[in-house]
Chain A
Amino acid sequence: MPSVSTQSVLSGYRVVELASERCALAGKLLADMGAEVIVVEPPEGCATRSWEPYAKDEAGTENSLHWWHYNTSKKSVVLDLDNSSDAQSFRSLVASCDVVIEAEPLGRLDAMGLDWGQLSNTNSELIWTSITHHGRDGADPPSTDLTVLAEGGPVWSCGYDDHQIAPIRGGGNQAFHTACHYAVPSILAALLWREGSGTGQLIDVSMLGAANVTTEFATLWWLNGESQVERQTGRHALPTMTEPTQIQCADGKWFNTGVPPRNKQEFKALRTWIEDLGLVKQCGVYEILKLGDQFERIGLLELDDDPLAGEVFHAGREAIEFLGTHLPAYELFVGLQQRGMACGIVYSPDEMIADPHFIERGFPHEIDYETRNARYTHPGAPYRFSNTPWAASRAPHLGEHQAVIDNLSG
């Protein structure tokens, strides 16, 4: 393997981020890959510093776990943009940077003379990224992650077979994440283009648009055939109701049965496992599984046309459900996967990070909190670069890097 590079992917780039829950992930993704990301906070600190939960449940500016997660590897400076001297510092800071990321209320920066239109004159290489509700030319309705996911499509597809139960917003503020997931590739493409052209530009990211193009079949079935998908418990929303894919295992944990066996090797592996577990007599579909030996591959579209294929396919599904009543979810997951069948244990986020596979890969990432004399485990890298590793250090204290401002020229 080549030796590890002395520089990170984004080292040398300076990014100025106006602190906001809507764009924090974009800054984090760049900071953890080596960019110098300077998050600009108001004197009282970013609003998310007051978001629960707190470390050790003690409220305080430096204790929000939301702040800790979303602001790793960044620097913090305090600027009161309503104050003319601080506004001038902000201008100087922007003049010194490569990328600005902001999700301010529409019109706020413009009214202060601190928007793209005013600041790009002094820095023609500047890449300015706005994350807005539905574009800088649009309106700016009061909105949250919940309302964007509701009107943007995802909520319609998530929920339960029983449609008397409300549709569901998936957890984790994913509307903000998805907007950031479009902002970052756009910024990187703009940086690549700037390397050749020497010219910056304005990137305008629509949160509502990002949600709209992140709904998979809800959109695809409408664009192609004008069919409306319907929500279904723990599985894809589709125009027709499908069979359940989620079971509760012997230890009470939920399990995604994925794709049941479809060829003779898989049927044989499943049968042999039932034999090894001494469960042949209790398994009502064991004899039907033997018929699986006749199939090289059962196509899902053939199930209705070939009664035997349908019966064998369903026996495979039932055999997995049967095993689930006897085994804890983890054993079922590893056992089926080792036998070639795609399936998944339904972990909570904290269970995922404690799983042996992810530990062996180094996904749990310990960060030093030197002022607390402690080290805490964070989720690690979403990708592994062979030469330029991802790295994350603790989120900054409020104004911890104010010297950046003092050192600005002009």
Chain B
Amino acid sequence: MYQYDDFDRNFLQERVAQYRDQTDRYLAGEIPDDVFQQLRLRNGLYIQRLAPMLRIAVPYGTLNATQLRKLASISRDYDKGYGHLSTRQNMQLNWPELEEVPDILAELADVNMHAIQTSGSCVRNVTTDQFAGVAADEWSDARPYAEMLRQWSTYHPEFEWLPRKFKIALNGAEEDRAAIAVHDIGIQLKRGPVGETVFDIYVGGGLGRTPAIGARIREDLPEQYLLTYVEAILRVYNRYGRRDNKYKARIKILVKAMTPATFGEKVDAEWAIIKDNPQVLTKEEVERITRGFAPPAYPLLADASQQLADQRLASPAFNRWVEQNVALHKQPNYAIVTLSTKATGIPPGDVTDVQMEAVADWSERFGFGEIRISHEQNFVLPDVPMHDLAELYELAAAEGLASANQGLLTDVICCPGGDYCSLANAKSIPVAEELLQRFDDYDYLHDLGPLDLNISGCMNACGHHHVGHIGILGVDKRGDEFYQISLGGNATNDASIGKIVGPSFGRDEVVGVVERLMDVFIDYRAEGETFLDCYRRVGMEPFKDRVYAEPMTVSPSASAG
């Protein structure tokens, strides 16, 4: 991963001192509430329903064992012994004290971590494929470019006070695991004619109240112009994005109002003037950053396929886990393992200090001390020797991190919802919990195949409900919690926004609705067809008809919450 130098370390130290001073002045009554709010947000600190929430940056979801151990100790010393993996690949603490945040930041800085720009109307954590650098289907590693963008956007003098938050994602693989189509800027890496890296640039995607798929405004952007082109986009947005209504302030609204073609022309006109300014990436700088992401020296391993086949035969549970949670690695005899946080009784994405320390240990024992966080809120170990899979599985199972559900119905993406978040209209965690309880038969889940079910507790769509094959949105109806269901969303290649099925449901009906949707899918699917493909072929009607066919009978277990 990227290696901090003296510049990076000094920057963080000064930033911690600066934030400590800001906190002191706020507590002394010298900074008004509305101003301090904007300052603390730019450092990831929200004031939530029950307590502050601190969002710690995990740039493009990559961290090392030392950093994860620090997160474990911080969650133990300053919080309640757990953290939450967010859909921007960050970690959130739900119970820190405002007064102690400067101390937490100082501890984070000791391991080259921070909370800079994890909130506020500025460029947020740049995200990418959680399998970047190791995925078998990757043609270019996006992490170095994500790091260049992180550095460039950190404390940018002109773009720290944008109309609204700004999210950038990159993808360098065949399968888009970074959801670039629903980002303010999505960057697709490609290979140019002589093998060099070039970029396709998409703008104006996003979720929230007005979901939109990004439009491509530039093809084959040469590598050296990455920063100057993004600068041109942000300047146009900063100047012309709406500031009168926060719900119309994202770049997607501006792109739509101007049309993508006109927006692109405006960007090109700006870029023509600045394209060769001093932010043009030099060969040396690209090499300096890329060096940190060079593949580790993989020891050559003996072929473990026979051993693995025998182990899978011997244990159905292990077999299911390998089938679902182990992905192909670039390197022979290595594998990428997803450690699912989605187990019954646990809010999706929540991990304890003990689990964090265990994952840190495994990353060293079964890899090179590196861990990833996926936007689906799971941990990933990127470099596990095949012959160690069975041992890792046993250890992970003992820590509750071996649910064999990666990419299945119960691999729910879920925001903290009304249990924690002051923006939420409805709770989301109890809905996820009921789903996990009801759909606990692995064979059934596996038969249903790949299925993204995403839950958001409000329009802000932190749970990405618009791009779930099934999306669930919490809405408030005269003080009661209701849930709107949508179908056909997709966050990866061929991205789409889900369509609302119809009138919303009470909380005790939601799981029953999902069951009926699955029944329709099973009735209509063709051989080998996924839920999304089936929906796209047969359309909304059969699903809608069944869901509203007769009154939902509520089972006693589901109505309890």
Is chain B a partner of chain A in the same complex?
no
B residues lining the A interface (CB < 8 Å): none
